Structure 1
Amino acid sequence: MSDAEQRHARQCVSCGINISGMSAATFDCPDCGNEISRCSKCRKQSNLYECNECGFLGP
């Protein structure tokens, strides 16, 4: 993987899998605006997530 690809690789904040190239959701944290990425499986199962910056918890 090139340096540019590593910088753009995303991980699901709920389960930690690499979601680069997968159908996933990326959105801003409702509290601090930090980018959050979630895989389709965790979204479908409504798994909890926590913002790495401010600790916001969401479904």
Structure 2
Amino acid sequence: MSESEPERRHARQCVSCGINIAGMSAATFKCPDCGQEISRCAKCRKQSNLYECPDCGFRGP
């Protein structure tokens, strides 16, 4: 059984470590520079792992 189009659009990955964060306690926010939606898992947020915006390259803790 394949995913429907809306389910694929809502599938999110942590921009720091790449894990699927759908249904997890994660943060989703807009990039401070370009407004692209960024998602991070709870573990990467807690450890203050660096992230990079996939659109503009902005880096943050």
TM-score under structure 2 length normalisation: 0.92
Instruction: Kindly tell me the number of residue pairs found equivalent between the two proteins.
Output: 59
For 1:40-59, what aligned pairs fall within 5 Å after superposition? 40-59=42-61
Q: For the residues of structure 2 that align with 1:21 and 1:2, how far apart are their CA atoms?
A: 17
What's the RMSD between the two structures over aligned residues?
0.7
Pairing 1:1-59 to 2, within 5 Å after superposition:
1-59=3-61
Q: Distance in 1 between matches of 2:31 and 2:5?
A: 26
| Partner Cα separation in structure 2 for residue 20 and residue 2 of structure 1 | 15
Unmatched runs of 5 consecutive residues or more in structure 2 = none
Q: What percentage of residue pairs aligned between the two structures are identical?
A: 81
Distance 1:28 1:6 in 2: 20
State the Cα distance separating 1:4 from its structure 2 match.
1.7
TM value normalised by structure 1: 0.95
Structure 1 unaligned spans of 5+: none
